[in-house]
Chain A
Amino acid sequence: DAKTTQPTSMDCAEGRAANLPCNHSTISGNEYVYWYRQIHSQGPQYIIHGLKNNETNEMASLIITEDRKSSTLILPHATLRDTAVYYCILNYGGSQGNLIFGKGTKLSVKP
């Protein structure tokens, strides 16, 4: 079973920030938080990951709470092409690096 909890769906207006929450209250100390997205039926695409500190790259920002029990993926200026299913996944990396995909959040960006 997936160890994360995400809302089933969310809407966002085009050009606005999309904030996607994820709860992972049973996260272990050496588990990373990874985010992927899947646009329609394409292969999933890696977005960002982090352990403790907030992270930012060209696609998104990841905010992890101090107790690490939840996180938020932020798409700063959502476009119609960001409409996708977003997955929040915990991963040890290394020899235990298999991903367990849950149902994710279906983000719909509307004009």
Chain B
Amino acid sequence: EADIYQTPRYLVIGTGKKITLECSQTMGHDKMYWYQQDPGMELHLIHYSYGVNSTEKGDLSSESTVSRIRTEHFPLTLESARPSHTSQYLCASSAGGQANNEQFFGPGTRLTVL
């Protein structure tokens, strides 16, 4: 089993609140990712990081921001939550080798903004 954790698992919050979704991994992986997935829909990459102090935006535009101060930690922040941010957020990590680049996913955070 992969050692990647996300908290909280479920979050219901009001519009305008600032929230931070936590993601941590204990595998020493350099690469970490955030995906967004609406119910029954595809996963879309919104942020990724190839190492400490490295962050990039993914294929899907997102109002969220991320930081990578420590290898094991990759939090995602929404400064002012809106109902359109309601979705499931999945974090993943990988060692990122040429031949072995499998990503390990956390259990996800299901966010509902009222």
> Which of A's residues lie within 8 Å of B, judged by CB?
32, 34, 36, 38, 41-46, 49, 51, 91, 93-95, 97-104
Contacts and interface: CB of A to CB of B under 8 A. Distances in A.
Interface string B17-57: 00000000000000101010101001111001010000000
Contacts, number: 66
Interface residues of B, number: 31
B75 to A, nearest CB: 17
Contacts of B98: 93-94
Contact of B102 (A42, A49, A94, A102): A49
24 contacts: A36-B103, A41-B88, A42-B107, A43-B105, A43-B106, A43-B107, A43-B108, A44-B90, A46-B102, A46-B103, A49-B102, A91-B101, A93-B98, A93-B99, A93-B101, A94-B96, A94-B101, A95-B50, A98-B48, A98-B58, A98-B59, A101-B35, A101-B42, A103-B42
The 7 A-B pairs at the shortest CB distance, nearest first, are namely: A43-B105, A93-B101, A46-B102, A101-B43, A94-B98, A97-B101, A93-B98
A97 B88 contact: no
Interface of B: 31, 33, 35, 37, 39, 42-45, 48, 50, 58-59, 88, 90, 92, 94, 96-108, 110
A103 B41 CA distance: 7
Which secondary structure characterizes the binding site on chain A?
Answer: loop
Contacts of A42: 107-108
Nearest to B35: A101
B101 A32 contact: yes
Nearest to B94: A97
Contact of B43 (A44, A49, A51): A44
Nearest to B4: A43
Contact of B99 (A32, A38, A98, A104): A32
A46 B108 contact: no
Contacts of B103: 36, 44, 46, 99
Nearest to A30: B98
A57 to B, nearest CB: 11
